[in-house]
């Protein structure tokens, strides 16, 4: 059973409305991507800590994932020579 003094929430998938989190406790602002265990759609989760917790779950567009990975690969390729020179 969840402690009533912590920030414990129950979230549902916006697409299939099945529960995404039964008990999830967040103590800080966070943002991450996960899959719904029921419909397998990718969802972006944004948690904002306030007096009352705000929980937003939205589907992730495949183009956005690909462009983010491309940018991360570019940054990694640019940093590799610098890291090799330092070590």
> What is the tally of structural domains in the chain?
1
Global pTM reads 0.47
Asked if the structure places residue 75 within a domain, the reply is yes
Q: Which domain holds residue 49?
A: 8-86
- Provide the sign of the torsion angle of the four alpha carbons 22, 55, 29, 76, taken in this order: positive
Query: What are the pLDDT digits (tens) for 43-86?
Result: 998 888 766 656 778 887 776 777 777 777 877 777 777 667 76
pLDDT above 90 covers what percent of the chain? 8
Asked if the structure places residue 3 within a domain, the reply is no
Specify the pLDDT at position 39.
92
Asked if the structure places residue 2 within a domain, the reply is no
DSSP letter for 15, please.
T
Query: What are the pLDDT digits (tens) for 30-43?
Result: 889 989 989 999 99
């Amino acid at each position: 059973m969840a402690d009533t003094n912590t920030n414990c929430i129950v979230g549902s998938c916006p697409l299939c409305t099945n529960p995404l989190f039964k008990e999830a406790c967040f103590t800080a602002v966070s943002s991450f991507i996960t899959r719904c265990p029921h419909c397998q759609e990718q969802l972006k989760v944004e948690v904002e800590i306030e007096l009352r917790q705000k929980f937003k779950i939205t589907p992730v567009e495949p183009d956005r994932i690909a462009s983010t990975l491309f940018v991360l690969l570019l940054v990694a390729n640019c940093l590799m020579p610098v890291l090799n020179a330092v070590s």
